[in-house]
């Protein structure tokens, strides 16, 4: 019975999934995830989409809760089914959107724990800043981590970077990378790199194997995670309660940019956040660090001047400036 129902809805779901990618600019993986959530709901309800109502959706959400599914999963169901309802209504497939006005569970926002700038430096260069790895694989892996960090890439964007998307900017002596179908960007988006990571990328480009993909082949999230964790172990960086996934590099650059004094809306644009409320999550402050800052300079102490916040990526990554020796090719031919 369920298989027949799935076959009945399949053509419309295929069109909706294509719409998410081609019109709404959703990443292929995101659209596939939404499709999977809707498929599970329809199997659970046992009726085609045109016949379900709000009560069916709420009952499905309760069953997901009882099954131990997290808030992010249940929130994803609400977003997906609401999108499908809007699309179906616009195409005359339903008389009303069954998910209209439906609000999902409020997501629990856990504390974001990031790498320090010093740890990022050790991750990329070890204990000898300015010294590049001698073997090609280590150079590739550290370059991958550096690009992922300084460009603020999402986990799904790191592995499939293409070589032809790398562009050299003579005016700033830096590279930029092209993100295909960037999330919340509505299409391709170009992300700048700083000079330090650009020099690292320049060294890698001089020895990288020919081919479409920047890293030699498209890397899965699992492969990128493995590269990150292996390098963290090599650099002696302990978790300390942090979740070591590729996304920690993105969390880290957002936190470091805000800590360096960059305007929150500028950081929002750089991070490609659809809502500034997402960027605000990085405005957390460690109580102990704040206490040390107040001990050094209280707001009530008006006699000493507040040091001016340094701006730009170069100030932010001051520990990473002396990256490569004179042998690095700073303008490789792609």
Active site residue 273: yes
Beta strands in the chain (DSSP E): 167-169, 174-182, 187-192
Catalytic residue among 122, 250, 256, 272: 250
Question: What is the C-alpha to C-alpha distance for residues 47 and 101, in angstroms, rounded to an integer?
Answer: 21
179 and 25 in contact (C-beta within 8 Å)?
no
A 10 A CB-CB count for 225 gives 17
CA distances from 70 to 59, 62, 63, 106 (A): 16, 11, 12, 11
Told to judge if 65 belongs to the known catalytic residues of this protein, a careful annotator would answer: no
Return d(Cα 258, Cα 118) in angstroms, integer.
16
Distance CA 172, CA 246 (A): 28
Per the annotation, the verdict on 169 as an active-site residue is no
Catalytic-labelled residue, pool 26, 82, 142, 183: 183
- CA distances in angstroms from 136 to 109, 202, 232, listed in the order given: 39, 13, 18
250 noted as active-site residue: yes
Contact 53, 46 (CB under 8 A): no
Catalytic residue of the set 247, 251, 262, 272: 247
Of 34, 149, 204, 282, catalytic: 282
3-state secondary structure of 288: helix
Q: Is 247 a catalytic residue?
A: yes
CA 27 to chain centre: 12
* 251 is known as an active-site residue: no
**Active-site residue among 140, 199, 251, 273?**
273
List 82, 122, 154, 231, catalytic entry = 154
Distance CA 27, CA 188 (A): 11
Give 289: exposed, middle or buried? Use CB within 10 Å, 0-12, 13-18, 19+.
Answer: exposed
Please give the backbone phi and psi of residue 181, each rounded to the nearest 5 degrees, phi first: 50, 55
* C-alpha triplet 148, 154, 156: angle, nearest 5°: 105
Angle of CA points 220, 225, 228, to nearest 5°: 130
Q: What is the DSSP string of 84-103?
A: HHHHHHHTTS-SS-TTTT--
DSSP at 160: T
> Residues with catalytic annotation?
154, 183, 247, 250, 273, 282
């Amino acid at each position: 019975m369920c298989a027949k129902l799935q076959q009945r809805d399949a053509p419309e779901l295929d069109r909706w999934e294509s719409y998410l990618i081609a019109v709404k600019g959703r990443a292929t993986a995101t659209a596939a995830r939404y499709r999977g959530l809707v498929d599970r709901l329809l199997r659970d309800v046992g009726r085609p989409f045109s016949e379900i109502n709000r009560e069916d959706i709420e009952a499905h959400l309760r069953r997901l809760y009882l099954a131990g599914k997290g808030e992010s999963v249940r929130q994803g169901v609400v977003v997906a089914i609401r999108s499908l309802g809007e699309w179906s209504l616009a195409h005359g497939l339903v008389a009303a959107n069954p998910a209209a006005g439906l609000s999902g569970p409020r997501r629990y926002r856990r504390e974001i724990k990031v790498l320090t700038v010093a740890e990022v430096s050790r991750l990329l260069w070890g204990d000898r800043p300015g010294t590049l790895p001698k073997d090609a694989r280590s150079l590739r892996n550290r370059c991958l981590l550096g690009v992922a960090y300084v460009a603020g890439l999402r986990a799904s964007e790191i592995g499939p970077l293409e070589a032809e998307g790398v562009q050299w900017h003579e005016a700033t002596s830096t590279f930029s990378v092209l993100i295909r179908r960037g999330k919340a960007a509505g299409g391709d988006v170009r992300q700048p790199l700083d000079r330090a990571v650009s020099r690292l990328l320049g060294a890698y480009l001089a020895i990288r194997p020919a081919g479409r993909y920047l890293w030699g082949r498209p890397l899965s999230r699992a492969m990128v995670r493995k590269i990150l964790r292996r390098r963290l172990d090599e650099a002696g960086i302990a978790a300390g309660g942090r979740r070591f996934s590729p996304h920690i590099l993105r969390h880290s650059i957002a936190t470091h940019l805000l800590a360096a004094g960059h305007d929150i809306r500028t950081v929002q644009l750089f991070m490609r956040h659809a809502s500034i409320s997402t960027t605000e999550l990085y405005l957390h402050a460690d109580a102990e660090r704040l206490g040390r800052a107040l001990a050094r300079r209280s707001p009530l102490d008006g006699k000493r001047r507040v040091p001016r916040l340094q701006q730009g990526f170069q100030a932010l990554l001051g520990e990473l400036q002396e990256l490569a020796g004179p042998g690095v090719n700073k303008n490789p031919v792609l």
